[in-house]
Structure 1
Amino acid sequence: MGRGVRDTLNLIHDLAGRGVGVRNIADPIRVDSANPEDPMSQLAVVMLALFGQMERTYAIERAAHARAVAAAKGKRIGRPSVVDPKKLAYAEHLRDQEDQSISEIVKATGITRSSLYRHLPTRSPETLTADNQQNA
């Protein structure tokens, strides 16, 4: 119901203020917030919220550990790249050797503009100033 015990209790309190009760019919532990004076129901809500919070905390820790192990092994973390390295090398060649614009490179390679800017290395200062030296 919530990310933590406090969120869950706040949500149940807000719903009760609007005249809405929460009843859990799937779990063997009876939860019914329609009767706020029932101490067993209050205990069940707090316990289930606490277990949910603990599970979320442990899941975050497991994911962080898995990322650290993968990074230590040199594995790429996250979604695999959709940019073909051969196309990227060709795009770099078109930009640096044939002096084509990004729009022309997009049409020639099929790589999106944002992917080109993200993956293409920036030009070296010598490349950027070579035209300026020829015009002088």
Structure 2
Amino acid sequence: MHEHKRLGRGLALAELAEQLRAAGVGLEFLTGELQGTHDPTRVVFTVLAALSGMEREYIRDRALQGHESARKNGKAIGGATVTDPAMLSMALHLRDQDLSLRKIAARLVITQGAKKGRHPSPATVMRMLRNHDERHLV
């Protein structure tokens, strides 16, 4: 394993450590602060889980501060919009035909910006449809 961070964070890491310990498996980290061979004992991985969780919170807090600062300066947060009303209309039509998100995405084409001419991802189609549905709930 390259770094302990790649194993997981918080409770997921603690649960994995318990499973490894029960199976008699050791770990060797190739890089990072814990480089070397380790026995996945509860104490070591409990500390790792706590530190990883704290690091994740720190990163999250810094990102939120950056977003807030950008908003105060009038900057948009997030990527460029690739959907438009025509794409939504076509996606709704295709969804009514019971097509999967993957098939819907393959039939749609982005008409603007750097991704012009490409297909949106199924995740983008899902968000577009979900946002539409949420706005039109009765």
TM-score range, shorter chain: 0.3 to 0.5
Question: Taking structure 2 as the reference length, what is the TM-score of the superposition?
Answer: 0.45
Question: Taking structure 1 as the reference length, what is the TM-score of the superposition?
Answer: 0.46
Q: Which has the larger radius of gyration?
A: 1
Larger RCO (CA under 8 A, 6+ residues apart): 2
